[in-house]
Amino acid sequence: MNEYMKIYERWLAQEDLDPALRQELESIKGDDTAIRARFERRLSFGTAGLRDQLGAGCGRMNIYTVRQATQGLAQWITSVGGQDKGVAIAYDSRHFSSEFALESARVLCANGIKTYLFDALRPTPELSFAVRHFGCVSGIVITASHNSKEYNGYKVYGEDGGQLPPDAADVVANEIKAIDIFNGVKLMDAGEAEKQGLLTYIGEDVDALYLDKVYEQSIDKGVISRMADKFSVVYTPIHGSGNKLVRRILDRCGMKNVIVVKEQEQPDGDFPTVQTPNPENREVFTRAIELAKENGSDLIIGTDPDSDRVGIVVRDNDGNYITLTGNQTGVLLSEYILYMRRQMGSMPENPVLIKTVVTTEMLRPVAEAYDVELMEVLTGFKFIGEKIKEFERSGDKNYVFGFEESYGYLSGTYVRDKDAVVASMLITEMAAHFIEKDMTLYDALQALYVKYGTYCEGVRNFYYTGIDGPTRIEGMIERLRTQAPRSFAGVKVSAVRDYSTGTIKYADGTEAPTNQLLNNMVYYELGDSERGGWVAVRPSGTEPKIKFYFGYRDPDSAAAKIKLEEIIAAVVEMAGAE
């Protein structure tokens, strides 16, 4: 009998197995493909957590895999003496999020670990804040971010409020591997844990403290009030956790006209109005755009289910509604924050902007214009959080703002993860600022292209599900790594960065280090300083997909767009993606 079949039979043999999971397992009897999909592999504790489809088996998200992961986390916490510091737990609107959060709390409490559990769904950044506020050793948030409704996930945070760093995550992963999923997990009744003082529920008092810190990041605290009668904002939480706190912070700033998309207002794990609740996709804004047209709104804001990412739609001069990319929004925010801090004399000494490797190169001339240092980190907001921690320890630099192209932004250091609540506030403040100048955000973006040049970017995602998916993805990356061409669409490859080896190979044959942690990513530098761009390819850490990132700059905006599409086509063809 195959090993995966033995594990399947063991699950079926558990007398107290969850009835719904048992029904699922009974329904796939004799279906080797379905059984393999659930039992041939275990969920891997990657990117400081778990994420996969909901369902039965060691390869799916369910109460047993969540308990096992939490037991591993508990054993690491015990080994570092963090029981009394405790763990904070939050969750979003997805199916089984509240159940997984409670099961996590039961395991922690059974291991003698103080636990703080939010009494209802909350944004992920508030979990980061709670970890820091309570002085916890760790935090857990149950979410699959912007994945489709079939998914859920489990993210672990460290005591600084950032996602668990790689060294600690490796220890937790090894602990999990050694735990028997049924017999190796401790559990305590939640009521008993509360009686013993091990379990504490977090309520609105922490919301207020968190929002105080968000409000502190406002630069011109009067501009929204001054312009409140002159504009409106359409807002959608996309069935997630951002609704209450985003609206509260906008109200606090004096925003009068916030029009909420009613069909997407209430938390709903089915996400019934969208295919995926991802603010990167224009389709999530279909109803919001209709509302904006009805009300003459120039700005639409949408936050994802756990409210750490935010997307916006703006109206152009012809009345069309344009979805901005994460890069465009990030550059607008960077310019606004740096400009206003300089104007108001609040720029700190030795200021730093941080972007990820695959985020727009347009941020370089912005940083230079304001004499601000620009740092680049690997993909993942945890690396921005680690830089903030470094600055606090050394005291020689001050974090001002950071973002990643995938719609994640953070101003301030009160949390150590991307925060759609503060981003929504600053985007609205920025819109009010430009309205005061008789400009829209669309006008502001065009002005930046005049000031810094036209930068065009694109992202292409290719999904490969099934058992052979990872092999196919790795084959594509390896092809691009080992068969690097001299040009793409007529644009010369000036350098190839191989982050798996930490080396940069230039066209003239010289080499240099990337000065980054090793990572499975290939990055091409293209062209020269006036006309050129970049291509990056990496596997997703949370989904069965390979991601291609592209950028191109040219003084001629039309030429930039055409050349970018040509480069995209050439790279995708070479990689064999389809």
State the DSSP code for 199.
E
**CB–CB of 405/333 below 8 Å?**
no
Entry field: residues in the chain = 578
**Token output for 310:** 């935010």
Tokens of 61: 């998200």
Burial class of residue 484 (count of CB atoms within 10 Å of its CB; 0-12, 13-18, 19+): middle
Paired with 493 in beta bridges are 526
- Enumerate residues 6+ apart whose C-beta is below 8 A from 486: 492, 493, 507
Q: Do residues 235 and 302 make contact, with C-beta atoms less than 8 angstroms apart?
A: yes
Question: In angstroms, rounded to a whole number, what is the distance separating the alpha carbons of residues 320 and 316?
Answer: 5
**Secondary structure of 141-178 as H, E, C letters:** EECCCCCCCCEEEEEEEECCCCECCHHHHHHHHHHHHC
SS3 per-residue string spanning 264-307: HCCCCCCCCCCCCCCCCCHHHHHHHHHHHHHHCCCEEEEECCCC
Q: At what angle do helices 3-13 and 32-39 cross, to 10 degrees?
A: 80
- Residue 139 tokens read as 């935090």
C-alpha distances (whole Å) from 117 to each of 21, 50, 61, 501 are 25, 19, 20, 41
Alpha-carbon span 2 to 307, nearest angstrom: 42
Does residue 556 contact residue 542 with C-beta atoms inside 8 Å? no
Question: In the numeric block, which tokens belong to residue 289?
Answer: 């755009």
Q: How far apart are CA 415 and CA 388, in angstroms?
A: 10
Catalytic residue numbers read: 145
Which residue, among 35, 153, 183, has the nearest Cα to 90 in the 3D structure?
153
Token look-up 């810094």 returns: 452
